[in-house]
Structure 1
Amino acid sequence: MKTIEELIRKLIKNQIDYNVFIKFNSKTVIEKTALTNLIRKAISENYIQKTDNNLLKITKEGREYINKLEGKEIAPKTIQNKKISVNPQNAKLDSKIIAEAYNIKSDFSEELLKIANEINNNAIFDCKDRIDLREIKTITIDGETSKDLDDAISVEKIEDKYKVYVHISDVSHFIDIDSPLDLEAKSRGNSSYLIDKVYNMFPEILSNNTMSLNENEERFALTLIFIIDKEGNILESNILKSLIKSDRRLSYNYAEDIINKKVEEENWLLELINNSLDVKNILYKKRKEGRGIEFDNNDIKIVLNEEGIPIEFYREEKKQSAHIIEELMLLANSEIAKKLKDYDGVIFRYHGLPDEYRFNNFKILAHNKGYELKKLENGGYDIKEFIERVKGKAEENLLTSVLLRSMTPSSYSIVNKSHFGLGLDYYTYFTSPIRRYADLLIHRIVKSVLINKDKEIDLKLKDLCKDSFDKLSILDKTSNKAERNVRQVKAARFMKDRLGDEYFGIISSMSKYGITVEIEGLEIEGFIESHYVGSDYRFYQDMQCVFIEKVKAYELGDRVKIFVASVNVENGKINFSL
């Protein structure tokens, strides 16, 4: 490579260690010197950066440089380390203030609301160019308060096989490319769920009504039909435009009661749930035998009162009913990705290898707890085997939590790079077009090449995907940051009335500035500044431990007794003392 443009394009595909990058992109001393000088020049122009852990990383200016060369719109920058202050006296405004700080839109213009109402009022659900599946027994399973129902399922047992229908709302039927609502959805990227407030990608009249697969309402869908054997092999799969009617809208809790035989129900529903559970178990077993990493990701639930103040934090084990939907959506997303893998312009979901620095800290923690990771022939580590080994142990939550944090976040990519966490060679997002713009783009591609049998993706749609994927990744990360910020503020409000209270916690991270401790069972973190830990505080990064007066006092993963020392609700900061 001879130009900064070539260098940046190479790094766009991979954020890579500096020494590794030099080694694999230069063969002679002359080439090495030239590449080193090129990197220095790019750094001096602020197009790339060299991070503390020796990674080469593209800057905002670098991306804008490439976008400018290609005439693309500049992706919005996520907010970094912005100080956000909520109103300590009004918890109801937490989500609103944080959403505004992250530029997450709430309201829609009068013009857009008018267009949405016209679409809703003019919607006629007929069988023109569609397969009529209204007679197939169909259900939705979602959260208690969910209103934007993207997906529905039907599962039938045929001898020793299963016929599985995954119905996804046909949002693209109502939203044309470059229409005002399409441009608005593209600018939002996704819906944001900030605990007590949903910031929709589309107006509610569409997201909660016209597009939502509501009970006893006829709706348009794209339906994936699978024939699956008892080993989880896909014998057949087909995608088609359909007209469906959801027979029941179940919550996860009620579906779980059906599974556990706590309620009586109609025979058809009992049969459908049992078939779905069978398929879930079959798919899960097959997936577990593959390369994917399986975390027991129990959720921390936050219960708010009418004033928006948290009254309870608790850990909730993921329900079987939620696993049913998860497995069927994974099945649908991976199958669509496989069907589209040879087309140019498809947006895939990419998940890379763990962050080197954080993963090294995790290995130190595992060592401190008496575990060593087994090495694989390719030089990597058998993370999957490690998770199985610690399952059920007292330190499982700590180890898997720190391991999870070492993983790089997933993102969108116009080039298929596989999904490390799921262990899949091909993966995309197809199942949530009401709340993710990327899924809507995939729906349009599916209609074009899989249903209409076009030889290639339309050039306009292809360009839209190529221009959007990076921006959509940033908007996705922004939503996640906002959600974490809301959770931090709610945690601070929860701890505000518990000053001086005693808890046991786990040291989840350490630095020269102090120690971060996570309260057991709550996933609420607080910080202990170094001078409060002890005199002559010394942090040793290579061992992830702290010495006080030349004696090892604390190490990553230690269980410690802490007290709530101070709380700043405005910025969601909690301080502990030992």
Structure 2
Amino acid sequence: MEKELLEKRKQAVYELMCNDMYVPMKIKELAILMNVPREDRPDLEEVLNALMAEGKIELSKRGKYSKAEGTFLVGTFTGNIRGFGFVTVEGENEDIFIPETQVNGAMHGDTVQVVLSTGKVAEGKRKEGTVVKILARGTVQVVGTFQKSKNFGFVVPDNQKFGQDIFVPIERSKGAVDGHKVVVELTDYGKKNRKPEGKVMEIIGHINDPGTDIMSIVKGYDLPVEFPEKVLKQADTEAKPVSTADMAGRMDVRDWQMVTIDGEDAKDLDDAITITKEGDKYRLGVHIADVTNYVQERSALDVEALERGTSVYLVDRVIPMLPHTLSNGICSLNAGEDRLALSCIMLIDKKGNVVDHKIAETVVRVDRRMSYTSVKKILVDHDEAEIEEYKELVPMFELMQELAAILREKRRKRGSIDFDFPETKIILDKQGKPLEVKPYERNVATKIIEDFMLIANETVAQDYFWQELPFVYRTHDTPDPEKIQKLSLFINNFGYTIKNGQEEIHPKELQKLLGKIEDTPEEALISRLTLRSMKQAKYTVTSTGHFGLATQYYCHFTSPIRRYPDLQIHRIIKENLRGKLNEKRIEHYDKILPDVASHSSEMERRADEAERETEKLKKVEYMEKHIGETFEGVISSITAWGIYVELPNTIEGMIHVTNLTDDYYHYEEETYEMVGEATGKRYKLGQKIEVVVDNADKFMRTIDFVLPEKEE
């Protein structure tokens, strides 16, 4: 149903629901009252479901609709292996806790209606509620491990939030045997004393087969693996070498000195850099592959790219947004090849201000494909062999370093927050087994590219904001005052303070805090808590600003090979440059962009979660080979149930409080310490500590440490 029509009908139905004469009533009675013919009842049901999703009306157990009394909320249920759950309601600052006895058949991912428990909520405690109705099931298929009995089987879900095994009749097991990873479709969601039931749709492989573990995560997150034949054919057809006709009307910058700088193993090179100095100003060119030249709106390629939303980078594979013929071929800015690009060419003064800029369709030819390692060797290590190899480019790299430092300092002054958590690099063998886990450190070259991409993204966003044209922005809202208040109370224990105004905190305050805690024992914990107090960045059609970067204007322009929002705004920019963004096209974009932004945000979250899960899995698998070995780590977090210890290779495990056997320990919340009752022994944040690997559980994705015997 069209959005405008849906809104009109919602208004009419809601007004009727507010009239005490008529409610409560069943859908049939409502249809008669509103003169809705039988064939239009599905439309009426859609209207009612939309009103329920907004919490405006409710549905009784007898199937009667009425106006909600204000105590009902609608949200998404997140399950827990221990039976309880949480409901996330849009617009609410905190999730609602649902005790196990009040879950009432809700499963992970379901859209539910909840009623809040009456009574005052104690300070520091969450609101509690009861699930009164399941409005929509969120899970249709589940990935898990098959366990066979004589006449039936069970599937134990991989996602522990699902919380219940699924009964599978033997005739619906597809021949699965013990230890098979399977995709099971739910046919019955069960009742209070009856398990959910399902049928096996696909056998992924045996739990011990190479690759089955990652493929189970891929299937669990419903990530697309293969491209449809039609999409692959279209990609092959589009991936033609750049012709003279393709270059017509474009700005030709092939004679500009130009490089790409990426990781050694990168194959989709979608950004290239040019830089010169004009007097005391820098001319910086950020040249981005013109992917929209090959991916036409509404084509099979475009529909598939929108559906995927983003490329997904798992530990052993990349699931690309676009087929390799494009992403690693004609859309990759390979050295020595003519390529089509969309360029943002900026004139930047010595204070880091963009004093002039031009966005243009261009033809480029990259001189050299550089790696982050090579550029670091030149700029930091002053490696003679590397400098000789790239001598004609060395002045360019020195200019880059100069400008990047200016841009970084400008961002620092305005309050941009830089969380410098080390990412993890996991090296696997051919069987997918982890050989090495280590931190992936950012170096001078990665930071230079980061700085240049940030300024290009800001410049493009600001340009289109002031043109008042439809656009997709990357926004990051100001944190909730309650969360900042909690953070403020927490850091007071360590002697730190943040200035917190009545309404909103300035990012500069958090930036200052991160500066103060640098190289202190509590740095890791306070950094993580600061990050958690902030909201998640997302894609929106309005430019509400980016809190973390302390800028009013920001978008994603620099990676159209791997992110759909970048591809979408390239299309808008090109239409505008060509003078084709007329009233009809503006109307078209106004209509489609909210859904593009919302779907892209969802797909990004899905990709992030899948990436984290594969990392956790391989870290556990790596530690399985080191059970009984001793490592030195740092206490990264302390809770009532145990001490978390992070090793130098980024792997984190926990010493359960019951494994601290030399004393009875209790958790002191005020000082965030674990204290021995008899000995007075204290474990503090940031303390270096030796641990022994006691257990690594692939199913639970947990690593257990104990203290070496000499310490007990």
Q: Distance in 2 between matches of 1:303 and 1:256?
A: 22
Counterpart of 1:347 (choices 455, 472, 495) is 472
Q: Residue 224 of structure 1 aligns to a residue in which SS?
A: strand
Q: How does 1:304-343 map to 2 (within 5 A)?
A: 304-342=428-466, 343=468
Q: Distance in 2 between matches of 1:249 and 1:501?
A: 42
Q: How far does the alpha carbon of each residue in 1:442-480 deviate from its partner, in whole angstroms, 9 at most, with x for none?
A: 111212335537365533233221112111111101111
Q: Does 2:405 correspond to 1:285?
A: no
What corresponds to 1:469 in structure 2?
A: 597
What corresponds to 2:121 in structure 1?
A: none
What corresponds to 2:159 in structure 1?
A: 82
Residues 78 and 477 of structure 1 are in contact (CA less than 8 Å); yes or no, is this contact kept in structure 2?
A: no
CA positional deviation for 1:44: 9.7
With over 3 angstroms needed to count, the CA separation of the structure-2 counterparts of 1:48 and 1:82, relative to structure 1, is closer
CA positional deviation for 1:166: 0.6
Q: Distance in 1 between matches of 2:445 and 2:685?
A: 36
Residues 224 and 240 of structure 1 are in contact (CA less than 8 Å); yes or no, is this contact kept in structure 2?
A: yes
What corresponds to 1:275 in structure 2?
A: 399
Residues 488 and 498 of structure 2 are in contact (CA less than 8 Å); yes or no, is this contact kept in structure 1?
A: no
Q: How far does the alpha carbon of each residue in 1:322-367 deviate from its partner, in whole angstroms, 9 at most, with x for none?
A: 1111011000111111112243542211223447787667556644
Q: How far does the alpha carbon of each residue in 1:370-422 deviate from its partner, in whole angstroms, 9 at most, with x for none?
A: 33123144563721111222234454344334433443321112222211111
What corresponds to 2:368 in structure 1?
A: 248
Q: Distance in 1 between matches of 2:313 and 2:482?
A: 30
AA in 2 matched with 1:338: Q
AA in 1 matched with 2:698: V
Q: Residue 498 of structure 1 aligns to a residue in which SS?
A: coil
AA in 1 matched with 2:606: T
Counterpart of 2:607 (choices 479, 483, 486) is 479
With over 3 angstroms needed to count, the CA separation of the structure-2 counterparts of 1:425 and 1:506, relative to structure 1, is same
What corresponds to 1:28 in structure 2?
A: none
AA in 1 matched with 2:159: K
Q: Residue 488 of structure 1 aligns to a residue in which SS?
A: helix
Counterpart of 1:439 (choices 566, 570, 573) is 566
Q: Distance in 1 between matches of 2:457 and 2:522?
A: 33
AA in 2 matched with 1:328: F
Residues 48 and 62 of structure 1 are in contact (CA less than 8 Å); yes or no, is this contact kept in structure 2?
A: no
Q: How does 1:22-421 map to 2 (within 5 A)?
A: 39-43=70-74, 49=89, 54=94, 61=111, 82-83=159-160, 89-121=208-240, 124=243, 126-260=246-380, 261-262=382-383, 263=386, 264-342=388-466, 343=468, 345-354=470-479, 363=488, 366-368=491-493, 370-377=494-501, 380=505, 382-421=509-548
With over 3 angstroms needed to count, the CA separation of the structure-2 counterparts of 1:407 and 1:523, relative to structure 1, is farther
CA positional deviation for 1:282: 1.2
Structure 2 runs not aligned, ≥5 long: 1-9, 16-66, 78-86, 98-108, 114-136, 143-156, 162-180, 182-204, 708-712
What corresponds to 1:564 in structure 2?
A: 693
What corresponds to 2:126 in structure 1?
A: none
With over 3 angstroms needed to count, the CA separation of the structure-2 counterparts of 1:62 and 1:356, relative to structure 1, is farther
With over 3 angstroms needed to count, the CA separation of the structure-2 counterparts of 1:366 and 1:447, relative to structure 1, is same
With over 3 angstroms needed to count, the CA separation of the structure-2 counterparts of 1:56 and 1:447, relative to structure 1, is farther
With over 3 angstroms needed to count, the CA separation of the structure-2 counterparts of 1:5 and 1:476, relative to structure 1, is farther
What corresponds to 1:10 in structure 2?
A: none
AA in 1 matched with 2:290: D
Q: Distance in 1 between matches of 2:523 and 2:14?
A: 46
Q: Distance in 2 between matches of 1:303 and 1:365?
A: 37
Residues 349 and 427 of structure 1 are in contact (CA less than 8 Å); yes or no, is this contact kept in structure 2?
A: yes
With over 3 angstroms needed to count, the CA separation of the structure-2 counterparts of 1:45 and 1:215, relative to structure 1, is closer
Residues 539 and 601 of structure 2 are in contact (CA less than 8 Å); yes or no, is this contact kept in structure 1?
A: yes
Q: Residue 550 of structure 2 aligns to a residue in which SS?
A: coil
Tell me whether 346-355 or 207-216 shows the greater mean CA deviation.
346-355
Q: Residue 287 of structure 2 aligns to a residue in which SS?
A: strand
Larger relative contact order (CA 8 Å, sep ≥ 6): 1
CA positional deviation for 1:41: 3.2
Tell me whether 464-473 or 176-185 shows the greater mean CA deviation.
464-473
With over 3 angstroms needed to count, the CA separation of the structure-2 counterparts of 1:380 and 1:399, relative to structure 1, is same
Q: Distance in 1 between matches of 2:431 and 2:90?
A: 46
What corresponds to 1:69 in structure 2?
A: none
Q: How far does the alpha carbon of each residue in 1:535-559 deviate from its partner, in whole angstroms, 9 at most, with x for none?
A: 9776576765556669796566555
What corresponds to 1:31 in structure 2?
A: none
Q: Distance in 1 between matches of 2:619 and 2:253?
A: 46
With over 3 angstroms needed to count, the CA separation of the structure-2 counterparts of 1:520 and 1:399, relative to structure 1, is farther
Q: How far does the alpha carbon of each residue in 1:67-118 deviate from its partner, in whole angstroms, 9 at most, with x for none?
A: xxxxxxx999999982497966445444333222211112112221111111
Residues 341 and 361 of structure 2 are in contact (CA less than 8 Å); yes or no, is this contact kept in structure 1?
A: yes
Q: Distance in 1 between matches of 2:286 and 2:112?
A: 41
Q: Distance in 2 between matches of 1:530 and 1:87?
A: 35
With over 3 angstroms needed to count, the CA separation of the structure-2 counterparts of 1:361 and 1:533, relative to structure 1, is farther
Q: Distance in 2 between matches of 1:503 and 1:45?
A: 41
Q: Residue 281 of structure 1 aligns to a residue in which SS?
A: helix
AA in 1 matched with 2:510: I
Residues 74 and 111 of structure 2 are in contact (CA less than 8 Å); yes or no, is this contact kept in structure 1?
A: no
Residues 520 and 686 of structure 2 are in contact (CA less than 8 Å); yes or no, is this contact kept in structure 1?
A: no
TM-score by length of 2: 0.68
CA positional deviation for 1:249: 0.7
AA in 1 matched with 2:629: D
Q: Residue 284 of structure 2 aligns to a residue in which SS?
A: strand
With over 3 angstroms needed to count, the CA separation of the structure-2 counterparts of 1:76 and 1:291, relative to structure 1, is farther
Q: Does 2:619 correspond to 1:491?
A: yes
Residues 422 and 650 of structure 2 are in contact (CA less than 8 Å); yes or no, is this contact kept in structure 1?
A: no
AA in 2 matched with 1:253: T
With over 3 angstroms needed to count, the CA separation of the structure-2 counterparts of 1:367 and 1:151, relative to structure 1, is same
Q: How far does the alpha carbon of each residue in 1:189-228 deviate from its partner, in whole angstroms, 9 at most, with x for none?
A: 1001112211000110111001111111111100111111
With over 3 angstroms needed to count, the CA separation of the structure-2 counterparts of 1:460 and 1:525, relative to structure 1, is same
Please identify the structure whose Cα radius of gyration is greater: 2
What corresponds to 1:27 in structure 2?
A: none
AA in 1 matched with 2:234: I
Q: Distance in 2 between matches of 1:5 and 1:508?
A: 52
Residues 50 and 56 of structure 1 are in contact (CA less than 8 Å); yes or no, is this contact kept in structure 2?
A: no
Q: Residue 264 of structure 2 aligns to a residue in which SS?
A: coil
CA positional deviation for 1:437: 0.4
Residues 60 and 77 of structure 1 are in contact (CA less than 8 Å); yes or no, is this contact kept in structure 2?
A: no
Tell me whether 519-528 or 246-255 shows the greater mean CA deviation.
519-528
With over 3 angstroms needed to count, the CA separation of the structure-2 counterparts of 1:87 and 1:555, relative to structure 1, is farther
Q: How far does the alpha carbon of each residue in 1:485-528 deviate from its partner, in whole angstroms, 9 at most, with x for none?
A: 1111111111111112233444444555x225132322212234
With over 3 angstroms needed to count, the CA separation of the structure-2 counterparts of 1:502 and 1:405, relative to structure 1, is farther
Relative to its length, the structure with more strand (as a share) is 2
